[in-house]
Structure 1
Amino acid sequence: MSGVAHRLARLAAATARFTASIAREMRREWSEDRVGGLAAEIAFFAVLGLFPAVLVVAAGLGLVDSLVGAANAADAEAWIVARLQDVFGADNTIEATIRDLFTGSNAGALSSGVVLTLYAASRGFVAVVSALEVAYDHEGRRDWLSTRLVGLGLTALTALMVAIVVTMLVVGPFFGLGDHLAERLGVGGAFARTWNLLQLPVAFGAVVVWAATVYHVAPRHRSPWRAELPGAVLAAVWFVAVSLGFGVYLGFASQGANAVFGLLGGALTLLFWLYLMAMGLVVGAELNAIVARRRGIEFVARRTAVDRVTHRLARRHAGGDGDGDDRGVTAG
């Protein structure tokens, strides 16, 4: 028994030393990469693109309602509004504005202008792409076109993922088919209880997958998916802690910022919340970069479309000399 206790003590000490060294590196990276400034930039552009993003999510829910029915899609919208109320309080202008956007949106009208709506909504993710390049210490950056295309893609992916995950949380796994199958097998009650227990882990897992996807796609590098997991888990924990803490803070702040500043207070509250969330996303990327360096994982920069065209023109000008390797270069 004493041997087991000794090994556990050594493991705890080693874990504490490792955590302390990671924290020291994180503090240095925080200062060198201006994490607070990067988060502020993301939050500002996220506010500008928030309401178009809500319209895109509403369009995604409009597509999903063909699978689950209009009533369930409306329940999913109500679930989103309720979660906003949990974070920002019952008396806030943000929740009312989002509800009005959901109510007034039209999926058919949105589909005709989906590119313009996506472009307006993608400004936050364009800032994310630039910020993560800094967090990963990349010397080469994406060109303008590549940055915008990645921002558009991440915006569309996020909106679709929100629509699908929220709908599953509201109507059950497999868009309600799991409930029907369980009822036919006579285990409907047990299935419902199990799903109620699994809802929060599923939601947390979805956030981890989303963050890992952002880390994998946004920066101009190739890396194994496992290299994105430490930061994705940290970011997900950060998001949950910030949202819960924000709701508690506004509750203790009595009437909240809205009672003092009205509509401006709601905007400031939203901006501060987005700032904290963006900080978590950047901190997760910093952790990935630190862990990758310790493990000897090299981030290999992707060649963008502009890079490939420039490379080919240079080879033609040189008479076709060169190794022809278009796969990428090691990022610093």
Structure 2
Amino acid sequence: MASAISKSTLVHAATSSIGGHRTLWAVGRASAQRRVGVIARRVGRWSYRFVRDIIDEWSKDRVGGLAAEIAFFALLGFFPALIVLAAALGSADGILGTAAATDIETWLVDQVTAVLGGDNNVEGVVRDLFASDNGSAFTVGAVLAAYAASRGFTAVVRALDVAYDHEQQRNWLSTRIVGIGLTVMTIVVAAIVLMLIVVGPLFGEGADLAERLGVDGWFTVLWTWFRWPVVFLALIGWAASLYNIAPNHRSPWKYELPGALLASVWWTVVSLGFGTYLGLASSGANAIFGFLGGALSLLFWLYLMAMGLLLGAEVNSIIATRCGVILEAVPRERLDRWVKRALRR
């Protein structure tokens, strides 16, 4: 009898323990679901306000009009910049080697032909610059490209000041100097990235060293996988530098990265779409209108790229404001004083 009571007691205790654990598990699960629901609602409200702020800033700052201005002046500076880029790469035979320079020439000419059509003088100019050893052509092209393309970057500087809600405090010459500096930086970055895309990092003596060490094949396979991520990171770095240098403010670099990442993704998607369009339009508008069709396509691509640049700036401005970072306009006193002294001389 006592044994039966003991067994029933143990069974009841075990059942109660299991039921208690189930109850605790159900309570914990319900609590976790409530927390997840609260977090989801907060994220939803934050995302809604964030998107609403972007739309409001987009409309207030006339991003579409600013992007059109940047695209127009970028198109005016595109061709001299292309010429100086071709000249810079063509004069780098001593570093790259003749075979690598030829590969870059072929790739660049193919891209120009795909955008502007084969029946134009740009292809011949690019080939002549690669084939020419005349240093004066490179100098004239560099000066022309720096001056012409600086107008496009001057428009970028003014547009980014608007996106960051700053008043333009630089004088005309200071703005143009900043634009020229950004132009030179962009051409240098473009040349390096182009070398990495076409040739890879092991150009010149690096390829010979890798071959002596017996790792050239392994490095080629590795670079095949990591080439585009490296180029994408370089694009993010260039965009973050542009956001930090061009506007009339000083801010921590970490607040430039979200917009730089968004702009880089935007540019990548737009460029892939543009390449697809060029492939489909090779027998369409570009074939019918020739150079004019290619120029209009290029203008539209530049417009979308400028729109992505300004969208990233708006995102940076909103995030910095929400984090309590005051992006006050900082006059470039040192640059302005240098310009004034140069003018007095």
TM-score, reference length from structure 2: 0.79
Greater Cα offset, 250-259 or 195-204: 250-259
Partner SS, residue 256 of structure 2: helix
Contact preservation (8 Å) 2:160, 2:310: yes
Question: How many residue pairs are counted as aligned between the two chains?
Answer: 307
Task: Tell me: CA distance 1:78–1:306, structure 2 relative to 1, closer, same or farther (3 Å).
Answer: same
Q: Which sections of structure 1, spanning at least 5 residues, go unmatched?
A: 313-332
Q: How far 1:85 moved relative to its partner?
A: 6.4
Greater Cα offset, 230-239 or 11-20: 11-20
Q: How far 1:59 moved relative to its partner?
A: 3.0
Task: Tell me: CA distance 1:14–1:179, structure 2 relative to 1, closer, same or farther (3 Å).
Answer: farther
- Correspondence 1:1-332 to 2 at 5 A: 6=33, 14-83=42-111, 88=115, 92-93=116-117, 98-105=122-129, 106=132, 108-113=135-140, 114-175=142-203, 177-252=205-280, 255-305=283-333, 309=337
Mapped partners of 2:163, 2:335: distance in 1: 22
Task: Tell me: CA distance 1:282–1:12, structure 2 relative to 1, closer, same or farther (3 Å).
Answer: same
Mapped partners of 2:155, 2:118: distance in 1: 22
Contact preservation (8 Å) 1:94, 1:270: no
Structure showing greater radius of gyration is 2
Q: Deviations over 1:38-97 (max 9, x none)?
A: 0000011111111111122123213533211233123223333445567x4xxx428965
Task: Tell me: CA distance 1:115–1:214, structure 2 relative to 1, closer, same or farther (3 Å).
Answer: same
TM-score, reference length from structure 1: 0.81
Q: How far 1:14 moved relative to its partner?
A: 4.5
Amino acid at match of 1:46: A
Q: Deviations over 1:104-149 (max 9, x none)?
A: 2256123433334310222211111111111111024321011111
Amino acid at match of 1:261: F
Contact preservation (8 Å) 2:167, 2:329: no
Task: Tell me: CA distance 1:228–1:65, structure 2 relative to 1, closer, same or farther (3 Å).
Answer: farther
Q: How far 1:26 moved relative to its partner?
A: 0.7
Q: How far 1:248 moved relative to its partner?
A: 2.6
Amino acid at match of 2:136: A
Partner SS, residue 169 of structure 2: coil
Contact preservation (8 Å) 1:84, 1:95: no
Q: Which sections of structure 2, spanning at least 5 residues, go unmatched?
A: 1-24, 341-345
| Matching residue of 2:10 | none
Q: How far 1:250 moved relative to its partner?
A: 4.4
Q: How far 1:15 moved relative to its partner?
A: 4.2
Contact preservation (8 Å) 1:54, 1:98: no
Mapped partners of 1:225, 1:120: distance in 2: 29
Task: Tell me: CA distance 1:26–1:190, structure 2 relative to 1, closer, same or farther (3 Å).
Answer: same
Mapped partners of 1:179, 1:95: distance in 2: 37
Mapped partners of 2:279, 2:193: distance in 1: 28
Task: Tell me: CA distance 1:23–1:193, structure 2 relative to 1, closer, same or farther (3 Å).
Answer: same
Task: Tell me: CA distance 1:178–1:300, structure 2 relative to 1, closer, same or farther (3 Å).
Answer: farther
Mapped partners of 1:135, 1:109: distance in 2: 40
Task: Tell me: CA distance 1:79–1:262, structure 2 relative to 1, closer, same or farther (3 Å).
Answer: closer
Contact preservation (8 Å) 1:168, 1:176: no
Amino acid at match of 2:137: L
| Matching residue of 1:315 | none
Amino acid at match of 2:90: G
Contact preservation (8 Å) 1:110, 1:117: no
Task: Tell me: CA distance 1:239–1:307, structure 2 relative to 1, closer, same or farther (3 Å).
Answer: closer
